[in-house]
Amino acid sequence: MDIEDPITYIKERNFSSLSLEEKLNLKNSQKRPDLNISQKDGKTIRKFQKTWYESFSWLTGSVNLNALYCFPCVLFGGEEAWAKDGINVIKNFVQKANKHATSKKHISCNEFFCMLGKVRIDHTLIEARKINAFRHNEKVKKNRQIVGRLIDVVCFLAKQELAFRGHDETGESRNKGNYLEILQLLAMEEPAIKDHLESSSVFRGTSSDIQNDLVESITCVVQEIILEELKNTEFVSVQADETTDISCCAQFSVILRYVCKNEIVERFLGFYDVSGDKTAVGLSSKILEVLKLCQVEKKLVSQTYDGASVMSGTKGGVQTIIKNLPTSTIYTLLCSPTKFSSFTLFQANY
């Protein structure tokens, strides 16, 4: 394809986006036209000299624009005067051309120009990148599948209120705990899980730290869903109870009850350590802290606790302290113990 004016042609297109064949065609289409450029300098009239093309092999001209350009710089983005604007002031042209020929940008562009089409390293690099990208995507896909299975196991155990860890998780143990045993069961039917458990040396997903990280990650996702639901509800009821675990740590469980999509739902927010202060003031402060964190302190219309004096006391109990807030609330006594299970935590997502 013969291009009448390569400079105009290139200015209308993005050279880097052209195919290799189009780039090679442009490389071989450098023109050296006789231009009508003149300039009066005192009593002397300076005119364009066609012999300049012989002195500077990179020099080209545009008939349409009536200006001189550096062909490699036009193609690869060199100095603006020689690549975009063009030279139409010919006074001291030879000095300008010599200065441009020794500039770093020109040398770099001229190098790209000379190498274009001679070495297909660009194609080799592109193919290598494609192969690496394909391998990377396959690895990411496999890793996501493995992590997805680990998350399924965590959600299943939480929903069924089953313990994760076993007393003896060594290779010789006959009962390694629910988490590991379920993974072994999945590995019998899924080659990807089996291969991961047998060959993975960096991340197996079986350690207690990983299990805790998965639980925390899932909890964050569920809490985000709960917070989004709370934004769209008008009224909220709080349920709370305090109990001491086997390590003598006082834990405060908090549940919110509200209407979501025309249905009454209960969402378990979590256990909170109140070992430092189990007084009515300390417990009520913890409830208010949780409500503020969820941004529903002004939506509270009801509170429900058991019959313990610290919770239900009419003079200094939790229900009295919260009832005296600017937003009045109704207190309801729980007649029977309420079981706060981890199932409610995952109910929003299951």
Q: Are residues 156 and 102 both part of a single domain? A: no
- Residues 93 and 187 grouped into a single domain: no
Q: Is the pLDDT of residue 342 over 70?
A: no
Confidence label for 144 from pLDDT (cuts 50, 70 and 90):
very high
Q: Are 100 and 167 found together in one domain?
A: no
Total domain count, the chain:
3
Same domain, 113 and 128: no
For 233-282, write each residue's pLDDT tens digit.
999 999 998 888 777 888 899 999 999 988 999 999 988 988 888 888 99
- Residue 113 covered by a domain: yes
| Contact assessment for residue 192 and residue 146, using Cβ atoms and an 8 Å cutoff | yes
- Residues 255 and 176 both lie in one domain: no
Residue ending a domain, choose from 119, 153, 172: 119
Position 224 in a domain:
no
Q: Are residues 78 and 37 in the same domain?
A: yes
Mean pLDDT of 51-68: 90
- Pick the more confident residue, 36 or 2: 36
Which of 119, 146, 168 is the endpoint of a domain?
119
User: What average pLDDT does the segment 119-140 reach?
Assistant: 75
Q: Are residues 306 and 339 in the same domain?
A: yes
84 and 137 housed in the same domain? no
Kindly state whether residue 152 falls inside one of the protein's structural domains: yes
The token duo for 181 is 């045993």
Residue with tokens 């442009």, as numbered in its chain: 26
- pLDDT bucket at 350, cuts 50 / 70 / 90: very low
197 in the same domain as 106: no
Per the model's pLDDT, the better-predicted residue between 332 and 178 turns out to be 178
Q: Which residue, of 78, 100, 119, is where some domain finishes? A: 119
Q: 115 and 127 share a domain? A: no
Over residues 296-321, the mean pLDDT reads 85
Residues 143 and 86 both lie in one domain: no
Q: Establish if 32 belongs to a structural domain.
A: yes
Which pLDDT does position 340 carry in this prediction? Answer: 39
Residue-number span of the structural domain to which 26 is assigned: 6-119
Q: Residue 125: which pLDDT band, with cuts at 50, 70 and 90?
A: low
Contact call for residues 312 and 304 (beta carbons, < 8 A): no
Q: Alpha-carbon distance 20 to 12, whole Å? A: 18
